[in-house]
Structure 1
Amino acid sequence: MQKETYKGKKILITGGTGTIGRQLVQRLLKDEPSVIRIFSRDEHKQYEMNIDFQAHSNQLRFLIGDVRDQQRLMRAMEDIDYVFHLAAMKHVPSCEYNPFEAVQTNVIGTQNVIQAALVNGVKKVLFTSTDKAISPTNTYGATKLTAERLISASEYQKGSKSTIFSSVRFGNVMGSRGSVIPLFKKQILGNGEITITDPEMLRYMMTPSQAIELILQANEVAQGGEVFVLKMPVVRIADLAEALIETVSKKYKLNDEVVIKYIGLRPGEKRYEELMTLDEQLVALESENMFIIPPSFQGKPQSLERNITELEMNPISKKVVIDWLYDESLI
């Protein structure tokens, strides 16, 4: 069914040159779309991606643009069937020190995507959010929460338009650009010292392939306004560091001891993340591999107790983490 969804269709991916964007393009090409437009503001990344995907040059179009620029988005979305909105400022410290820049990209940029999709009659728009949008303590999380609300609210503000809007909520994507795995690996190979903010830090983790499947599965079943959340395991960051020390040292035959240094939480950072608020857990639906949070405007009454599996913060073992690293070729 999924292959037929995108066969012969026109797709736009904002932020399409990022880690998830590139893998999403690679995955979607198997479904034989008519064209995939890759919309981003980084000319060099587009240049590199164009070379890497040269075999599919007849299906790919690279558009320089910024989601802050509504007119450019309007043009980019002409005749588009499906939009995957991945573009964002995503680094917590950067958003803390440049809060209005984060608002312009993550909030105003999302509203621009919504407006352009409605004007151009796009079939579906899927937005990628984050677990940091739950009870946010930083600018990044607050902007993503606001963007989630904009996406859901567009469902009942679109009038006679038929565009369907929905969101997926990511945890930490293992190995994505700027994430902790490439950083730790660089530190191990560089100065032999890993820096961790807090020894008790826990994070929900998902593999890149899981992120792609969540996007495609959610977009397939979305009816409008939902937030889809993958069932993800919890990883202790200190365990991840130890797993990387073990695997990277083995691969590169490193003999020197690697030291773990604790440096304290960064501005806006949390020790523990959440996948859903308690209120969301009382209305959420559950499938085999994900939770589905219905839009609040549907007025679904809250249960007095959860109807879904209880979310537990029990970290997986270091052995499972090591298996993941090898399975996803992240070493």
Structure 2
Amino acid sequence: MSASEFTDSVILITGATGSLGKKFIERALNELGPRSVIVYSRDELKQFELREHFGRDPRLRWVIGDIRDRERLFKAMHGVDFVVHAAALKQVDTAEMNAYEYVRTNVIGSQNVIDAAVAARVRKVVALSTDKASSPVNLYGASKLCADKLFTSANLDPHNRGTSFCVVRYGNVLGSRGSVVPLFRRLAADGKSLPVTDKRMTRFWITLDQAVDFIIDSFALMKGSELFVPRIPSMRVLDLVEAVAPGAVTHEVGLRPGEKLHEEMISTVDAVRTYQCGARYIMLPQCGVADEDLPTSGRLPDGFCYRSDTNDQWLSTEDIRNLLA
């Protein structure tokens, strides 16, 4: 989607006060030319801080609300053209101890977003997923997988009169509020040993700017029901430590409840309906897309699996250091 597609439109972002939401708002105001951007979130302090950051730009509309609240969400969605759904509960270990709260937000809240968008005849909705939703082993990943399925099947709703839904799935975001980098820097400055879950651990990494680019491009490419995955590099946790704090002492603390040693974004099962298109993979649902409508090129080989430890792209210590700089 070119910037002109967003010109004079109304964009709503759920969970907009997070790192991704803040970066998307910056790009939208500077490059996309919307009539207004609705910041929908439940934390009034974070909204206040964001208002100060953006100099109280008149194009921004501030709505306090929770995606669990259907009535509030339906009102907020009125007159909206595009939605970026970023709201979620995300802490892996916290989810294991508060399972139903994650279901209420990540699953039921996502269905509320879908229902509100259909009722308001929103044009397009892009929902944000996570690598933890592929072959999930924790409640957070399982709840996000449920959300992914809700969004990719929402186009089949007989009451849907023109709203298109898709999902984008990517790995850990470098520079986000949940990044481990600030912790490593703080401990290294105090001369303390850095806690490493497991020295063999690998992760997918993407920058905030790359994540926003991917979301904007997905609006252009989507027809409905797709799950888009970017081809992004992996990194080893020890390389991250060396990039942040050269020569720092580390100690292993073990996997947290529900944590994986390596991450996966496309399983071998999902790869059967996934196609490569340039620098992204496009996963199509098991139903709703006829076999004759499947792409004729880009099919992945049998047994393909997109995992952080078997990836063909890697960040070196110097690469990570340059990105952090």
Q: Which residue of 2 aligns with 1:157?
A: 157
- 1:155-211 deviation per Cα after TM superposition (whole angstroms, max 9, x unaligned): 112445100000000200011112222222222234522111111111011111110
Q: What does 1:3-152 align with in structure 2 at a 5 Å threshold?
A: 3-29=3-29, 30-54=31-55, 57-152=57-152
Distance of 1:128 and 1:104 partners within structure 2: 17
Q: Which residue of 1 aligns with 2:197?
A: 197
Q: How many residues align?
A: 314
Distance of 1:99 and 1:264 partners within structure 2: 22
1:142 aligned partner, one-letter code: A
Is residue 258 of structure 2 the alignment partner of residue 260 of structure 1? no
Distance of 2:15 and 2:122 partners within structure 1: 18
Q: Which residue of 2 aligns with 1:307?
A: 299
Is residue 218 of structure 2 the alignment partner of residue 215 of structure 1? no
1:321 deviation in Å? 1.6
Distance of 1:39 and 1:282 partners within structure 2: 37
Report the 3-state secondary structure (helix = DSSP H, G, I; strand = E; otherwise coil) of the residue aligned with 2:32: coil
Q: What does 1:180-329 align with in structure 2 at a 5 Å threshold?
A: 180-190=180-190, 192-246=192-246, 258-297=248-287, 298-300=289-291, 307-308=299-300, 311=306, 312-313=310-311, 315-326=314-325
Unaligned runs of 5+ in 2: none
| Matched-pair contact (CA < 8 Å) for 1:283–1:300 | no
| Matched-pair contact (CA < 8 Å) for 2:242–2:248 | no
1:325 deviation in Å? 1.7
Q: Which residue of 2 aligns with 1:254?
A: none
Aligned in 2, Cα 1:325/1:38: closer, same or farther, shift over 3 Å?
same
1:44 aligned partner, one-letter code: L
Task: Tell me the TM-score normalised to structure 2 length.
Answer: 0.92
| Matched-pair contact (CA < 8 Å) for 2:174–2:208 | yes
Report the 3-state secondary structure (helix = DSSP H, G, I; strand = E; otherwise coil) of the residue aligned with 1:296: coil
1:31 deviation in Å? 1.4
- 1:35-58 deviation per Cα after TM superposition (whole angstroms, max 9, x unaligned): 00000011111000001111x621
CA RMSD of aligned residues (A): 1.9
| Matched-pair contact (CA < 8 Å) for 1:118–1:158 | no
| Matched-pair contact (CA < 8 Å) for 1:131–1:169 | yes
Distance of 2:95 and 2:160 partners within structure 1: 36
% of aligned pairs identical?
38
| Matched-pair contact (CA < 8 Å) for 2:273–2:285 | no
1:307 deviation in Å? 2.6
Distance of 2:152 and 2:158 partners within structure 1: 11
Task: Tell me the TM-score normalised to structure 1 length.
Answer: 0.90
1:73 deviation in Å? 0.2
